[in-house]
Amino acid sequence: MAHEVCNDINEWITENVWQPVESWVGRYVEKCQEQDCDWWCACCNKWFCWLAWVVEKVIEWVLVPITKLVVHTVCEIVADVIDLIVNVFVGLWDIVVGIFTWDWARVWDGLVQLVGGVITFVVDIFRIATFGDAIGFLSDWVSQERLRSYVRDKLKEKYRGDELQAIKDALGVDYGEFGFRIATRAIRTFVRSDFRLPGSDVPELIRWHENAGLRLNLKELCGYDYEEFWRRFRPEVVGDNGDVSESDVDDYINSRGASGPTFSIFCMDEGTLGTKISTASEKARALGLLFRWRKETIQVTRPEHVRQKGFDQNGVTALVGFLNTVIGRRLKSVDPAGATADLCNVPTVGVFRYTDKLNGLTVNLQQGACDGLTPNDDSGLTFMDRLPDIVWKYVQVHEMGHYFGLCHVDGVNRIMFTAAADENKSAWDWWLIPDYLYLHGGPVFVFEEATQVWDYIIANFTADCLRTRAK
């Protein structure tokens, strides 16, 4: 979590310190080059131009990357120490509380957090001390500059004049922090204990609980129990009047909703969502995407929206319908301009479960970068929580990759990797060890994927969207 702040600090410095300096020097050089030579002093006015040009290049290729690297390194070390302290204390707390309450799942999670936290710290400090982190950072910076010029050329093919300039300014193509500041919604779906269908005196939660075919056991939805140990998740039960205990929920179930507290169950708690969205923000920078999040909650009232349909039950069609009716995405078949405008706001919807082994699902509006990613009637994605974070916190940003047209790839060092058996992707890739452990300390998006994302954006997003910076 703390690591995201490092990116924010660097973004702030770029926008508020380097951007004004670079654009001032850039304008001076431009004006200078248009000047005629003063012959009386052997073109002395032009010497300054040459000097200014050198200064411009030194700022761009030396000062900016070096200050960024220094800020990044210092900030990463501080963030690593903070993360270590948090992981050790939270892990120990869970182990102790778990032992005293005989909650072995909690002891296991505490142990994973404690050991995982220490290993992550040691690996990160090793990476920083042996310059792996610095090399990774500088190679990312070079990729970013390449992406910037790729996007500049690509925009020129489609746009002209003032429109082109407005888009380039909004994206920071020439000066400042480059990236598409795009509005993203982090939605947590929730269910209510007092929701009944008209004419029914039993709450829907109870009816679902009693219908074994739906696999919506209320104790599992609340997180007191689990269907499968390796697919546990972290829902949050929030009472209307204070805390809700497991026996309160038993009371609610046994009385069929007649007694017990009224409460909401969220598909994941806020901290869990926070970890995922800061991971997404950090990783998507390599794609030139700067997410501007808005957190929301949305109530779901149908069993198929709690346990979402997977590939076993025509999940793609079901997701198109869900995004349209519950999330408000417009259908291309009904309102093509509306569906295209909707692209400008990415809905990422946290859900409880799927009917099959899915962890997340996306529908992309237009043809993606591979044959498998065919266009759909609307756009958006769902994802679920799963432990442990070290593996599963990347699901949301993986789905966001699909939203921008990205396909599955080989290698666990890549965010777009999938272990799904029918996809036949190999976990091994020769870059795995150096890239994952040494340069980046986790899975990444690569330059080629960034160009695919921008091909998709420039081809399909509206000019209005491109020239607006989401706040």
Site for Zn ion in 389-428 (CB under 5 A): 418
In whole angstroms, give the CA distance from residue 188 to residue 266: 7
Give pairs for 50-54: CB < 8 Å, separation 24+.
52/25, 52/28, 53/29
In whole angstroms, give the CA distance from residue 284 to residue 388: 21
For Zn ion, the closer of residues 159 and 404 by Cβ is 404
Helix (H, G, I), strand (E, B) or coil at 83: helix
Task: Tell me how far, at minimum, the Cβ of 398 lies from Zn ion, in Å.
Answer: 5
In whole angstroms, give the CA distance from residue 164 to residue 162: 5
Would you call the peptide bond into 388 cis, given omega within 30 degrees of 0 as the criterion?
yes
For Zn ion, the closer of residues 97 and 419 by Cβ is 419
Tokens encoding 417 = 């990797």
Q: Residues 6 or more apart from 296 whose CB is under 8 A from it?
A: 185, 186, 187, 188
Task: Tell me how far, at minimum, the Cβ of 365 lies from Zn ion, in Å.
Answer: 16
For Zn ion, the closer of residues 252 and 403 by Cβ is 403
Task: Tell me how far, at minimum, the Cβ of 406 lies from Zn ion, in Å.
Answer: 9
For Zn ion, the closer of residues 313 and 418 by Cβ is 418
Task: Tell me how far, at minimum, the Cβ of 459 lies from Zn ion, in Å.
Answer: 21
DSSP for 101-137, please give it.
TT-HHHHHHHHHHHHHHHHHHHHHHHHHHTTHHHHHH
- Going by C-alpha positions, the residue among 270, 274, 101 that lies closest to residue 190 is 270
For Zn ion, the closer of residues 414 and 467 by Cβ is 414
Which residue type sits at 386?
Answer: R
Task: Tell me how far, at minimum, the Cβ of 268 lies from Zn ion, in Å.
Answer: 19
For Zn ion, the closer of residues 155 and 349 by Cβ is 349
Task: Tell me how far, at minimum, the Cβ of 416 lies from Zn ion, in Å.
Answer: 7
Tokens encoding 216 = 């919506």
Helix (H, G, I), strand (E, B) or coil at 278: helix
In whole angstroms, give the CA distance from residue 288 to residue 40: 49
Given the structure tokens 């870059």, which residue do they identify?
431
For Zn ion, the closer of residues 87 and 452 by Cβ is 452
For Zn ion, the closer of residues 264 and 359 by Cβ is 359
Site for Zn ion in 278-317 (CB under 5 A): none
Mark residues 54-73: x for contact with Zn ion by CB under 5 A, - for none. Answer: --------------------
CA 144 to chain centre: 18
Tokens encoding 381 = 């994605």
Helix (H, G, I), strand (E, B) or coil at 261: coil
Task: Tell me how far, at minimum, the Cβ of 357 lies from Zn ion, in Å.
Answer: 12
Strand pairing partners for 291? 182
In whole angstroms, give the CA distance from residue 301 to residue 287: 36
Task: Tell me how far, at minimum, the Cβ of 383 lies from Zn ion, in Å.
Answer: 10
For Zn ion, the closer of residues 120 and 418 by Cβ is 418
In this chain, which residue has its C-beta nearest to Zn ion? Answer: 418
Task: Tell me how far, at minimum, the Cβ of 460 lies from Zn ion, in Å.
Answer: 19
For Zn ion, the closer of residues 249 and 287 by Cβ is 287
Q: How many residues bind Zn ion (CB under 5 A)?
A: 1
Q: Residues 6 or more apart from 457 whose CB is under 8 A from it?
A: 180, 404, 466
Helix (H, G, I), strand (E, B) or coil at 351: strand
Task: Tell me how far, at minimum, the Cβ of 298 lies from Zn ion, in Å.
Answer: 23
For Zn ion, the closer of residues 418 and 468 by Cβ is 418
In whole angstroms, give the CA distance from residue 384 to residue 233: 8
Task: Tell me how far, at minimum, the Cβ of 395 lies from Zn ion, in Å.
Answer: 9
Q: Cβ(221)–Cβ(306) under 8 Å?
A: yes
Contact set with Zn ion (CB under 5 A): 418
